[in-house]
Amino acid sequence: MDHYIPKRRVPVTLWSTGLEAVSAQMFLDLDAVTRSHQTILEKLDESTPFLPASVGGQGRIHLFNKRRLLRVTPGRSVILSDVFSRGFRPWREEEAECTLMDGTALAGKVWMPLERESQRLSDFMNQVSGFLVLLTPVGPHLIHPRGVAELRLSESAGVPLDALGAESPAGR
């Protein structure tokens, strides 16, 4: 028998393959014992294959296949601590420009928990298994790596390629 877990509703827009953007309300767990609450990132990163959400004026429940979700945008009224928790582990934010598979371009800071002090954004992107947080001037976006077509980093190789003495193909 399932036990009832108190929930909170938070407004989001779900972006997925095969569907237009869907305005919905996600259900986040409340824990009365510890007085803590689940974040949107934690909900998206759960191992369950479907995300239940309330859609439309009548609040009809829809089940969205999480493997098809590419981006989740919290509503303007959602506070950042409902989106993700920085916690006590070390973390860093890195500037990046992101182009998504649907052509959407977003610029901001990728929030990444650090596994080690020398971790680069490229290391994080190659290891991330769930959604990542992109903090933009208009608000946060939770993006699944499979939705990313290109991520332009602020870091560079350190030396311009022209300075290495390589001839350009046009100059040959």
Percent of the chain with pLDDT over 70: 84
Per-residue pLDDT at 154: 79
Strands 139-143 and 132-136: antiparallel
Whose CA is closest to 47, among 142, 130, 143, 133?
130
pLDDT at position 129 over 80: yes
pLDDT, mean over the chain: 87
- The band of 164, judged by pLDDT with boundaries at 50, 70 and 90, is low
Better pLDDT: 160 or 68 = 68
Going by pLDDT thresholds of 50, 70 and 90, the confidence category of residue 37 is confident
For every residue of 61-126, DSSP letters joined together read EEEEEGGGEEEEEE-TT--HHHH----SS-EEEEEEEEEETTS-EEEEEEEEE-SSTT--HHHHHH
Looking at residues 4-21, what average pLDDT do you find? 86
pLDDT of 28 > 70? The answer is yes
Query: What φ, ψ does residue 80 adopt, rounded to 5°?
Result: -60, -35
**What region does 103 belong to: left with phi over 0, alpha with psi -120 to 50, or beta?**
left
